[in-house]
Structure 1
Amino acid sequence: MCPAIAVNAPVGVMDSGVGGLTVLKHLTRQLAHEHFIYYADSAYAPYGNQSAVKIQQRCFAIADILIAQGAKALVVACNTATAAAISPLREHYSLSIIGMEPAVKPAAAASKNSIIGVLATTGTLKSAQFAALLEHYGHGVQVVTQACVGLVECIEQGQLDQAHTLALLETYCQPLIDAGADTIVLGCTHYPFVRAHIQKIVGPQVTLIDTGAAVAKRLQQILEEQNLLNPATSADAGNAQHATSSVKPIFLTSGSQETQRVMQQLWQIL
């Protein structure tokens, strides 16, 4: 238990941009009475083509902002940021910090033909964390990876249905289709925004997996262990599929007013 932290303190959620909203939606469904503050670092997005040092600098800056707002825990809702910064963040701060990782383990378990595809940023695919995931969970399966350069930028601008975005998705999904993948990991929190388009391209027989729900369950577990759950939250857990958040998240960003508009737009469609 952390006696200095109030149970009604907010949970801070950070991402390189708007992608972490897909994780935030899972969090608000699982923990409907918790308060959330979401920070989109859109002025510095995407993280996928930046150095680990730069990503770490941004994560520390955002963590300081969220902790100054009273955050009782942090969720790094970005695969690239998790890979680059989760260890130094945990070494530096005393509060619990939950990260993301591409869902290689559940994908390997779900695949029927042992061929899984991973759509992710260049930064995630080149990270030591991803290499470790493959080492631990990639035995016995063929893993086909695809870096999706430019896709985050399209989603950051709210361009979910534009021809350019759809063309990128076709280009990036095709190698996975050609390899025969029957399960595809959405290895960036931005990608669930275009999940329907990806599903249409790869076909209904292919299973798409992201990790937002698992992160929400992990956050609940940690808050329970530390006696930091909001009192009404435990009553929500059994009805997480049907819960609607009773508290509207606070949205912060390093980006422009346009970023705020896009965040509101995307939040409404989740």
Structure 2
Amino acid sequence: MKVGVIDSGAGGLTILNAIHKKQAYLDLLYLADDGFAPYGDKTREQLQQRLEAIGQFFEREKVAAIVVACNTATVAAIDTLRATTYLPVIGVEPAVKPAFRLGKQRRVAVLATPVTAQSYRLNQLIELWQADSQVRIMSSASLAYDIDAWPKSQEQIRQTIESLCEQMKLDDVDTLVLACTHYPLVKSYFVEYLGKECDIVEPSEGVSAQLKRRLEAAYPEQMSLAISSSKLGQIDLCTSSSEDKLERLLNWLCQPERVIEKRVVSI
């Protein structure tokens, strides 16, 4: 069974790595939509049109399900994708529910792209789960884009994270929600500046579990066979930009040896 995973760049590899770790029997097709990046400065209408086209691409690739491994695309356009494809679609949401349960002093920072930070869905989740917690929504217009430019952008990434963390320290933040799938790729920097006493929450394991539930519901026989098989899944890396982007993606894979194909595609 093959699952398609989409993000604007490298960020969705945090989700793909979690899926590959928990469900190693699945073949995974990863699309880094670098040719349309960054998603954070696109309108809702542009993202809706783009995800519809990406859904058609995954249908042609004969995947069994689509994982939208991008917070911005999920909040802006996942409903459009679900309405225009017959495939099961799994999105990613900011992990605010577990964050509010973890918070020792109930001081939570949610770090997102500008689109996610201003989204109705994020604010709805916070209102639903925050109880008596204090919440600060923060955003960066550049961090996800800089992560895609790794390693030449490493110093800029460090400076951005240091500045963000200084603001969090002033607010005595004890729990940080990384509400963009790019951000866990540089989690070590957040740990460095905030210290281990600050809990850092991201959604990769929850998305992997939800994918398994959706696949078992949609394809019970195929999933039973796949789970019982000793076959290890393979990874196909795609970009909508250029070949040099493919080499950068390999930096973030937990098992790059599972990659069987790297290609540039047109969407």
TM-score (norm 2): 0.90
1:30-67 Cα offsets, whole Å, 9 max, x none, are 11111111111011211112111111111111111111
Q: How does 1:80-159 map to 2 (within 5 A)?
A: 80-159=72-151
Matched to 1:209, the amino acid is: V
Q: Secondary structure of the equivalent of 1:48?
A: helix
How far residue 20 of structure 1 moved from its aligned partner, in angstroms, is 0.2
How far residue 265 of structure 1 moved from its aligned partner, in angstroms, is 2.1
Q: How does 1:1-270 map to 2 (within 5 A)?
A: 8=1, 10-159=2-151, 162-226=154-218, 227=220, 228-229=222-223, 231-233=225-227, 246-268=232-254
Q: Secondary structure of the equivalent of 1:108?
A: helix
Q: How far apart in 2 are the matches of 1:93 and 1:84? A: 16
Q: Name the % identity.
A: 33
Q: How far apart in 1 are the matches of 2:228 and 2:126? A: 35
Q: How far apart in 1 are the matches of 2:60 and 2:229? A: 29
Contact 1:12 1:67 in 2 (8 A): no
How far residue 106 of structure 1 moved from its aligned partner, in angstroms, is 0.5
Matched to 1:255, the amino acid is: S
Contact 1:33 1:233 in 2 (8 A): yes
Over 3 Å counting, the alpha-carbon distance change for 1:90 and 1:234 in structure 2 is farther
1:168-196 Cα offsets, whole Å, 9 max, x none, are 00111222221111110111000111100
Farther off after superposition, 156-165 or 112-121 = 156-165
Q: Return 5+ residue gaps in structure 2 as ranges.
A: 257-267
Contact 1:110 1:183 in 2 (8 A): yes
Give the length in aligned residue pairs.
254
Corresponding position of 1:240:
none
Matched to 1:252, the amino acid is: C
How far residue 232 of structure 1 moved from its aligned partner, in angstroms, is 3.5
Q: How far apart in 1 are the matches of 2:136 and 2:144? A: 20
Over 3 Å counting, the alpha-carbon distance change for 1:112 and 1:160 in structure 2 is farther
Corresponding position of 1:3:
none
Q: Return 5+ residue gaps in structure 1 as ranges.
A: 1-7, 237-244
Over 3 Å counting, the alpha-carbon distance change for 1:219 and 1:104 in structure 2 is same
Contact 2:44 2:76 in 1 (8 A): yes
How far residue 248 of structure 1 moved from its aligned partner, in angstroms, is 2.3
Contact 1:158 1:266 in 2 (8 A): no
Q: How far apart in 2 are the matches of 1:161 and 1:183? A: 26
1:53-98 Cα offsets, whole Å, 9 max, x none, are 1111111111111111001111000000000011111122222100
Q: Secondary structure of the equivalent of 2:181?
A: coil
Q: How far apart in 2 are the matches of 1:149 and 1:160? A: 18
Q: Secondary structure of the equivalent of 1:266?
A: coil
Contact 1:21 1:267 in 2 (8 A): yes
How far residue 140 of structure 1 moved from its aligned partner, in angstroms, is 1.4
TM-score (norm 1): 0.89
Contact 1:33 1:230 in 2 (8 A): no
Alpha-carbon RMSD: 1.8
Q: Secondary structure of the equivalent of 1:231?
A: helix
